[in-house]
Amino acid sequence: MPELPEAPPAGPWQLLVSDGSANRWTIDAVGVDAHYTFDPVQPHQSSTGRYSGGTPSHGPLAATTTTTLWARVRGLLMNSAVQVPDRAKGTVLLHLQVGGVEREAIVRMGVADDLIAGLPR
């Protein structure tokens, strides 16, 4: 994929984020007009049978939130120094699709804590 634009692209794009506990966010957007879906791990899906990532939710994202999210994800996707080759507990999976082009990275534990904290639940 060519270098990612500094601002969210004008056309459609989708971001999937899976945190270190496998809670999952899907952001569907056109430019800064974005909506999220939060799909948390439920106890019956967890390895312990007890962990819950919370309550599923969905809704719009403010344009400022979308712009901040794009910048942070762009930085993580372009920085190979924070990426690891294999998914393990505690790592964060990022999968970005812009048009028909996809980019994916697994970032090591702790690197994306601010990103995860800024996502809606």
Q: Are strands 92-98 and 12-18 parallel, antiparallel or unpaired?
A: antiparallel
Residue 110 CA to residue 80 CA, distance in Å, equals: 15
Q: Which helix (H) or strand (E) holds 75?
A: helix 63-78
Q: How many residues does the chain have?
A: 121
DSSP structure class, residue 21: T
pTM, two decimals, is 0.94
Residue 47: band (very low, low, confident or very high) from pLDDT cuts 50, 70, 90: confident
As a whole number, mean pLDDT of residues 77-86 equals 97
Question: Which residues are registered as beta bridge partners of 17?
Answer: 25, 94
Give pLDDT, residue 1.
Answer: 47
Q: Could you read off the pLDDT of 1-45 as tens digits, one per residue?
A: 468 999 999 999 999 999 999 999 999 999 999 999 999 999 999
Residue 112: band (very low, low, confident or very high) from pLDDT cuts 50, 70, 90: very high
Give pLDDT, residue 99.
Answer: 85
